[in-house]
């Protein structure tokens, strides 16, 4: 716990300084320094809530054959894993989000929301971002049914999760056309959308509706792929 908070903070400093240097003229891609600092620290905090790290739990269970145990339970594995993930995110929201933002506030001026209702929008938006992240991760894990080694899809996940989600740099840093393409993928909805809500950029209702739509679509994809996979399941013997 302490170890990951420490590492998370070191990366928070690294990110903040680079973003602030990019805004030496007073702003960068429409963000002022206080917004960039908040973006960096809140992003470090949300990273652990929406879970953008490598996650191969389901893929490993498919490879070892343990997935059969999950299938024997009178509950859809997608629902069961989602419930567990939301529980994890709820815990992380309290611990992992508050610590980096508090630390960032000690060292840098941060831009806090001006309206109280932003906090309500933020919690909803983070919840939807977590569902989108979970559904995408689950989808990638399911590929292990066809591709026993989930390393390739997982690399794709790491690539999208850090570069296209707003974790490495804010999405508005990319060229216009790339931004349009990216918002059509689930990735910006996992981090950039809740951060936009927090920094009060754009319409929160629109961001939350978009987030709900993407979360629903990704969960649907995951459910369909799960059904397809189970129809042609070959249990690893042993």
Partner 1 sequence: MADVADVLAPYRRLLVAQIRSQTQYRLSFAVDLALNATITVIDVFVLLAVFRVTPELAGFGLIETLLIAGLAQVAFQLADLAVGNLERVPFYLRTGLLDAVLLRPLSAFGQLVVLDFMPRRVGRVVQGAVTYGVALVLSGIDWTVPRVLLAIVAPIAGAVCYGAIFTAGAATMFWLVEGGEVVNAFTYGGRDFASYPTPVYGPWFGRLLGFVLGLAFVGYLPALALLGRADPLGTPGWLHWCTPVVSVVWALVAASAWRVGVRHYQSTGS
Q: Which positions lie near partner 1, rule CB under 8 A?
A: 3-4, 6-7, 10-11, 13-14, 17-19, 21-25, 28-29, 107, 149, 151-152, 155, 158-159, 162-163, 168-169, 173-175
Helix (H/G/I), strand (E/B), else coil: 28: strand
Name the residue nearer to partner 1 (CB basis): 6 or 114.
6
Minimal distance in Å, beta carbon 226 to partner 1? 25
Minimal distance in Å, beta carbon 28 to partner 1? 4
Kindly list the distances between the CA atom of residue 190 and the CA atoms of 12, 102, 164, 173, 195, in Å, as whole numbers in the listed order: 18, 22, 10, 17, 9
Minimal distance in Å, beta carbon 123 to partner 1? 27
Name the residue nearer to partner 1 (CB basis): 172 or 216.
172
Q: Which long-range contacts (CB under 8 A, 24 or more apart) does 212-221 make?
A: 212/128, 214/128, 214/132, 214/186, 214/189, 215/128, 215/129, 215/131, 215/132, 215/135, 215/189, 218/131, 218/132, 218/135, 218/136, 218/139, 218/186, 219/78, 219/82, 219/131, 219/135, 221/135, 221/139
Minimal distance in Å, beta carbon 161 to partner 1? 10
CB 129 within 8 A of CB 50: yes
Name the residue nearer to partner 1 (CB basis): 74 or 175.
175
Name the residue nearer to partner 1 (CB basis): 21 or 233.
21
Name the residue nearer to partner 1 (CB basis): 14 or 123.
14
Minimal distance in Å, beta carbon 104 to partner 1? 13
Name the residue nearer to partner 1 (CB basis): 17 or 119.
17
- How far apart are the C-alpha atoms of 19 and 44, rounded to whole Å? 14
Minimal distance in Å, beta carbon 172 to partner 1? 8
């Amino acid at each position: 716990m302490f170890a990951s908070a420490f590492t998370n903070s070191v990366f928070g400093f690294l990110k903040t300084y680079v973003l602030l240097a990019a805004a030496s003229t007073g702003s960068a891609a429409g963000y002022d320094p206080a917004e960039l600092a908040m973006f960096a620290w809140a992003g470090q905090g949300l990273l652990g809530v929406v879970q953008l790290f490598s996650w191969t739990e389901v893929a490993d269970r498919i490879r070892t054959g343990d997935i059969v145990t999950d299938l024997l339970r009178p509950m859809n594995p997608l629902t069961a894993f989602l419930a567990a993930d939301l529980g994890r995110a709820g815990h992380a929201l309290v611990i992992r989000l508050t610590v980096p933002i508090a630390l960032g506030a000690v060292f840098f001026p941060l831009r806090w929301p001006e309206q109280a209702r932003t906090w309500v929008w933020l919690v909803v938006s983070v919840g939807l971002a977590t569902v989108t992240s979970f559904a995408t991760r689950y989808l990638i894990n399911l590929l292990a049914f066809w591709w026993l080694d989930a390393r390739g899809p997982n690399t794709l996940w790491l690539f999208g999760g850090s570069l296209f989600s707003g974790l490495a740099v804010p999405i508005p840093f990319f060229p216009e056309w790339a931004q349009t393409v990216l918002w059509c993928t689930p990735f910006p909805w996992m981090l950039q959308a809740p951060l936009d809500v927090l920094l009060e950029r754009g319409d929160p209702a629109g961001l939350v509706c978009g987030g709900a739509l993407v979360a629903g679509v990704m969960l649907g994809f995951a459910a369909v792929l799960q059904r397809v996979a189970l129809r042609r399941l070959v249990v690893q013997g042993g």
